[in-house]
Chain A
């Protein structure tokens, strides 16, 4: 292929279209459909629904169900305890799912923990104390709390590394596929020679 980078660029464009651009609906004349923003805002403006309280912290769910809302106060460690006490089950679910995902993408557990520990070591005491409070009560170990804190970063790294590998290999596959297709067409052209049927080569 003369311009091997084009395959990568097209892949990125397709990914962007599938994740974002394609979500915009258009009317029959091409103009965007009017989105019912008002009712969405009204829905979010409704009071959040109280779920639970723990050691002075409160958990709510927005009326649309989109967000879990935690309202925490006092010391950093105490806020971490409130966080862990209110959201421990969800933290466990999130941890187990995202770690399985990251591991399945080829990121070793040791690397996950080392990255998570490195992030923690670089945090100011305020964030470290928040995490320490979470560790006390959430039901997750310190390693698990640190990994879930780094989970989205680890997953982003893993996904981007995968896409980069795809970008590096696709142009070669594309060139091979094109050559194979051209061979097939040539063979078809030869087999049709003399029949009066043209395939445009």
Chain B
């Protein structure tokens, strides 16, 4: 992933119909993971889907793996 950090960008959007916000993301990624709006509201997505056995039936959540030993 590190090699793509040269594309990391701060895109500040001032929509004419809603709050302004800044999206910190690799270029061209318009969905929100790390963002802050004009009022300072900050959101960060930490994606744990790869440890979710309801998404990946043959995968296991981290705590279950730890209890395997």
Interface residues of A (CB under 8 A from B): 3, 5-6, 8-9, 62, 66-76, 79, 83, 87, 90-91, 93-95, 97-98, 119, 123, 126-127, 130-131, 134, 145, 148-149, 151-152, 155-157, 159-160, 164
Contact B31–A76 (Cβ < 8 Å): no
Q: How many of B's residues come within 8 Å of A, CB to CB?
A: 27
Nearest Cβ distance between residue B32 and chain A, in whole angstroms? 9
A83 nearest in chain B by CB position: B11
Contact B12–A70 (Cβ < 8 Å): yes
Contact B8–A66 (Cβ < 8 Å): yes
Contact A164–B30 (Cβ < 8 Å): no
Contact B69–A5 (Cβ < 8 Å): yes
Known A-B contacts: A68-B8, A73-B16, A93-B7. Give 20 more (CB < 8 A).
A5-B65, A6-B69, A8-B65, A68-B9, A68-B10, A71-B12, A72-B11, A72-B12, A73-B14, A75-B15, A79-B13, A79-B14, A87-B28, A119-B31, A123-B31, A130-B30, A134-B28, A151-B26, A151-B29, A156-B1
